[in-house]
Amino acid sequence: MNKIDYHKSLIADYLSERDNICCIDIITYTIEQNSLEDAIRVAVMSKNKNGKTEFHQRRIYKNVYPNFLKNLLKIKDKIENAKNFDKLISTIFINKPSGAGELFCYDVALRIGHKLNLLPEKIYIHAGTKIGLENLLKRKIYEKTIDKRKLPEPFCSCELTPDQLEDFLCIYKEELSDNYLSTNKKEHIKRYCK
């Protein structure tokens, strides 16, 4: 199996499993809210309809949530008037409390962005996404964002959106390393090449 076919198999796996491995339920719950204020509350508190905390936010100190919520509710008009995702995330990041890191800010902005139909036009790089991108591109990553068109095939032409690629690069960071396929070849063939 060549590298492009291998990457296509990872993308297919992601697309088939996405509802189970991603925070779709909390994004959907944010979109379902009747007001922006309620959407901000759901996005920040990071709990789905069933009260389950989203995986990325389980290590955040409990006092960060109400502080972040208070800060964002004060600037609700700025959030509502954001013209694009870049403006939305920078507004959220500027108003984050101590203890709210880059990934938390991105997740909150993405949830609110879905409510406002403001989605990323480029891939935001942080945490696991950075590792996945470094494994894919075989270089250190210093950028904060990257255009999808700068990725190799099949990523630059695949159907995944920039926010899905951010998620994919994080989830499949290990599978994108050169060592993974050689050390896990039998498992990979069973998993991806059914």
Q: Give tens-digit pLDDT for 134-157.
A: 999 999 999 999 999 999 999 999
Per-residue pLDDT for 87 more than 50? yes
Q: How is residue 138 written in tokens?
A: 């075989």
Q: How is residue 192 written in tokens?
A: 């991806």
Work out the mean pLDDT of the chain and round it to a whole number.
90
CA pair distance 106, 62, nearest whole angstrom: 18
Inter-residue contact 64 to 125 (CB < 8 Å): no
Residue 78 Cα distances to 9, 32, 104, angstroms: 41, 21, 19
Quick one: which of 60, 13, 36, 26 has its CA closest to 192? Answer: 13
pLDDT at position 19 is: 62
DSSP H/E element including 26: helix 24-32
Q: Give tens-digit pLDDT for 25-82.
A: 899 999 999 999 999 999 999 998 998 888 878 889 999 999 999 999 999 999 999 9
pTM above 0.75, yes or no: yes
The percentage of residues in the chain with a pLDDT greater than 90, rounded to a whole number, is 78
Domain-wise residue ranges, the chain: 3-22+123-192, 33-116
